[in-house]
Amino acid sequence: MNNPLIKLSQRIGYTFNDISFFELALTHRSKGGKNNERLEFLGDSIVNFVVAEALFEKFPQAKEGKLSRLRAGLVRGTTLAELARDFDLGEFLLLGSGELKSGGFNRESILADAVEAIIGAIYLDSGLDTVRERILTWYGKRLDDLQLDDVVKDAKTRLQEHLQKNQSRLPKYEVMEITGQAHDQNFKVSCWVETLPEVTIGLGSSRRLAEQSAAQKALNALGVES
């Protein structure tokens, strides 16, 4: 194992038996050829399961809806990117020249995807018990400090609940434009609310983020939030 990977292994608290899993987990699709997308897919499912299991045990009286929102906050891209920055993961990523020039090593979505890919790689290398232990260690303080009243609903959920409360029709989201290369796309999404004279527009590096942005602007336009 080369020195940079030894350093990262120490930071994540795991040494790979098969180093090829580790290298693949750090390889972004902009690099070309084999990349971490399949590992990311696997890791996404694993982290959702492990966090759900931890919340199920921590809050035995909590209902499904609240558990789902707590989990969403812990496995969202922002939180995964925070974990990545805890490890200084960006400096170890294998990126194509375009991503290197545009600062991809610090892009939230790339960092979050890499964490999921590492989770998938650890699972393949050592199994569920080991990867569960790693995830729970990485999330340790976040899980320990979490309280049921910490649930913060995202903008789309808040907008939907506000409209339902006022017996209005649900919002409609539409992708207006997608720009950029496949590895660095930007989305423009509109949000239609029947009580607003105009749609609100959100921008983001993914459709989900753009929809959240548009929903937040709708909440502001409705005077629900400032």
Residues belonging to the active site: 44, 116
Map tokens 């292994």 to a residue: 9
Does the annotation flag 177 for ligand binding?
Answer: no
Side-chain half-sphere CA neighbours of 45 within 13 A: 9
Give yes or no for a contact between 188 and 201, defined as CB atoms under 8 angstroms apart: yes
Place of tokens 């930071």: 11
d(CA 146, CA 151) in angstroms, rounded, equals: 9
Whether the Cβ atoms of residue 225 and residue 155 lie closer than 8 Å to each other = no
SS3 label, residue 94: strand
Instruction: Find the radius of gyration of the CA atoms of the chain.
Output: 19
Which helix (DSSP H) or strand (DSSP E) does residue 78 occupy? helix 77-86
**Distance between CA atoms of residues 108 and 89, nearest Å:** 11
Say which DSSP state 192 is in.
E
204, 188 contact by CB (below 8 A): no
116 is in an annotated binding site: yes
Task: Report how far residue 62's alpha carbon sits from residue 68's, in angstroms, rounded to the nearest whole number.
Answer: 10
- Report whether 113 belongs to an annotated binding site: yes
Which residues are annotated as part of the binding site for Mg(2+)?
40, 113, 116
